[in-house]
Amino acid sequence: MQKKPVSLALMSVPHIVGKNALGQAAVYFSGYSRIFVLVDENTEKLCLPVFLDILSNVSITAVIKIKSGELHKNIQSASFIWQQLTRLHAERNALLVNLGGGVITDIGGFAAATFKRGIDFVNIPTTLLGQVDAAIGSKTGIDFEGYKNQVGLFADPKAVIIDPVFLDTLDRKQFRSGFAEMLKYALIMDIALWEMMDNRPFDAMAPDLGDMVSRCVADKISIVEKDRQETGLRKLLNFGHTVGHALETFFLNSGTPVTHGEAVAAGMICATMISSHRQGLDCNSPEIVFEMIDRNFARLNFAERDIPEIMKLMAQDKKAKAGELRFTLLTKRGNAVPDVVVPEAKVRESLLFYLRNQ
Ligand code: GLY
């Protein structure tokens, strides 16, 4: 990570990124009648002590704890947060600090934005995935009836604090999950980031991780500031996610959850395969992309007989419109086009390709 944190703005929301970002965050906690910190059992143990130590001058009213994992990003957990805020007399002038990964920032943002028609919240992402993607861009929400992010709203945090101090708390699986999103930025828009990855396995990238995280944050901000509501350009960020979300839901519903990144990595293989057929991706590229992904992610364990169920889940995705499946596809490494209609048969073929070419 660079020596000093940098401050980037998305609309008017400050994003403080880098070493000691948390040390500079106290300013975003002043002026509130009550301050609540939302955690799960992991961030309570591993991140809350760090937060309380660095921000020892900030007076916290209470810690609200929900169960970790996508399985708990649901209306019951949201309702529990609203109950706690009510019980602890949170007024309109209260602040909710979301200290955790993508589940915490998604559900915490949702609970805050809807409680008493909206109280302020600050995102402090503690996972690589949260730092490069989930905590940025004002998407909040919960899963519902087996579908990811089915209920939610766009709501701006007051600030996003991205400090590498929390990355030391992650296991390899969580780290890799974030890396899939970093690969996504490289492939859709940032060939210089791809070059930084330099064909290395992820573990060998550690010395450059700080710079790479800052690049991803800047990449995401540059897209969201042009299209916050995802009417066009922001759909670029869905590369790998049409198939990825369906796979993530499939495995979640099967009782064997995979990480978001593992599902997106699989989705990027399918989307790259489709790209090579439809958008004139230069013919050396697919193999280079597959090699990079396979070097870092094991193939997911589903079977040909599961494809109809995965296709059904895909049809329910928010990216599907009027029954058509829509994909972000690559034109080459470092460039992509959003919202391309892809026939179902081609998507099925890409899943078969994924299973048969390992
Ligand atoms: N994670 C994709 C987006 O924020 O649009």
Give the model confidence (pLDDT) of 50-70 as tens digits: 999 999 999 999 999 999 998
Distance in angstroms (rounded) separating the CA atoms of residues 257 and 248 = 7
Confidence band for 8, pLDDT divided at 50, 70 and 90: confident
User: Does the active-site annotation cover 238?
Assistant: yes
Tokens of 241: 């996610």
Mean pLDDT of 143-154: 91
User: Does the active-site annotation cover 277?
Assistant: no
Ligand 1 centroid to 228 CA: how many Å? 10
User: What is the torsion angle, in degrees rounded to the nearest 10, for the CA atoms of residue 308, residue 246, residue 183 and residue 271?
Assistant: 40
240 close to ligand 1 (CB < 6 Angstrom): no
The residue whose two tokens read 């499939």 is 250
User: Does the active-site annotation cover 139?
Assistant: yes
From the number of C-beta atoms within 10 Å of its C-beta (0-12, 13-18, 19+), residue 169 rates as middle
Question: Which of 103, 132, 133, 242 gets mutated to test ligand 1 (max ligand atoms within 8 A of its CB)?
Answer: 133
Q: Look up the pTM and report it.
A: 0.92
Mean pLDDT of 92-97: 98
> pLDDT at residue 209 above 50?
yes
Mean pLDDT of 33-41: 98
Answer positive or negative: Cα dihedral of 75, 79, 152, 174.
negative
Residues sharing a CB contact under 8 Å with residue 172, sequence separation 6 or more, in sequence order: none
Strand duo 139-144 + 147-154: pairing: antiparallel
Q: What share of the chain has pLDDT > 90, as a percent? A: 82
Q: Which H or E element spans position 250? A: helix 241-253
Ligand 1 centroid to 88 CA: how many Å? 32
User: Does the active-site annotation cover 220?
Assistant: yes
Domain 179-356 falls under CATH 3.40.50.10860: no
Inter-residue contact 286 to 272 (CB < 8 Å): yes
219 close to ligand 1 (CB < 6 Angstrom): no
- Residue-level pLDDT at 283: 62
DSSP category for residue 159: E
Residues sharing a CB contact under 8 Å with residue 270, sequence separation 6 or more, in sequence order: 240, 243, 347, 350, 351, 353, 354
Per the prediction, the chain carries an average pLDDT of 93
DSSP category for residue 176: H
Domain boundaries for CATH 1.20.1090.10 within the chain: 179-356
- Residue-level pLDDT at 1: 46
133 close to ligand 1 (CB < 6 Angstrom): yes
Rounded to 10°, the helix 241-253/344-356 angle is 70
245 close to ligand 1 (CB < 6 Angstrom): no
CATH of domain 6-169: 3.40.50.1970
Q: How many residues does this entry show for the chain? A: 358
Domain boundaries for CATH 3.40.50.1970 within the chain: 6-169
Distance in angstroms (rounded) separating the CA atoms of residues 66 and 40 = 5
Mean pLDDT of 184-205: 90
241 close to ligand 1 (CB < 6 Angstrom): no
Question: Which of 106, 132, 220, 319 gets mutated to test ligand 1 (max ligand atoms within 8 A of its CB)?
Answer: 220
Confidence band for 279, pLDDT divided at 50, 70 and 90: low
Distance in angstroms (rounded) separating the CA atoms of residues 152 and 111 = 9
> pLDDT at residue 284 above 70?
no
- Residue-level pLDDT at 344: 95
User: Does the active-site annotation cover 230?
Assistant: yes
The region of weakest confidence among 24-28, 114-118, 193-197, 283-287 is 283-287
139 close to ligand 1 (CB < 6 Angstrom): yes
pLDDT tens digits, one per residue of 135-147: 999 999 999 988 8
The residue whose two tokens read 């020596």 is 3
Distance in angstroms (rounded) separating the CA atoms of residues 109 and 120 = 9
Phi, psi of 185 (to 5 degrees): -60, -45
- Residue-level pLDDT at 322: 73
